[in-house]
Structure 1
Amino acid sequence: MALPKPLMRGLLARRLRFHLPIACVLAVLVGTTFKFAVGEPRKQAYADFYKKYDAVKDFNAMREAGVFESVRPSGE
């Protein structure tokens, strides 16, 4: 009793016909999920931060703390 020969001709094309659409749908699904679960909240957090951020005030606080070597605190 011999085993039947495997069908090797066109094997890649048959497998791709099944797996390629599934891979594309999953890629779009994961990309969309990431955009709305991570990207949009991150953009909103940055927007909220910069609405009330004062760069001059932050610079002056760091200058007074002595963070910069080339900028003297205003008291000197």
Structure 2
Amino acid sequence: MASSALVTPQIHGLLYKHLRFHIVGAFIVSLSVAAFCKFAVAKPRNKAYANFYRNYDTMRDFEKMRKAGILQTTK
């Protein structure tokens, strides 16, 4: 009676079950981190660069640096 009530531990397929659970979890976590980085970091950074260079005048900045004496190779 006592031996029939005991449940044998699962040995066969335990590693497969464990790895499948963790691989799926790692895949989901990596996709969510990648999406977070794209939408929270990369898009705002690209937008800020685009706004900066939309109004950026290179010649005005060059003349300002030349008059300040930063560029010593130009006269």
TM-score bucket of the superposed structures, by smaller chain: 0.7 to 0.9
- Structure 2 distance, partners of 1:32, 1:43, is 15
Structure 2 segments unaligned to the other structure (5+ residues): 1-10
What percent identity do the matched residue pairs reach?
Answer: 43
1:20 corresponds to which of 11, 19, 23: 23
1:32 paired with 2:32, answer no
The two structures have a TM-score, normalised by structure 2, of 0.78
How many residue pairs get aligned? The number is 68
The match for 2:65 is 62
SS of equivalent to 2:26: helix
CA offsets 1:5-34 (integer angstroms, 9 cap, x no match): xx5x76543321110000000000010011
- Consecutive aligned runs of 4 or more in structure 1 exceeding 3 Å deviation: 9-12
Structure 1 segments unaligned to the other structure (5+ residues): 1-6
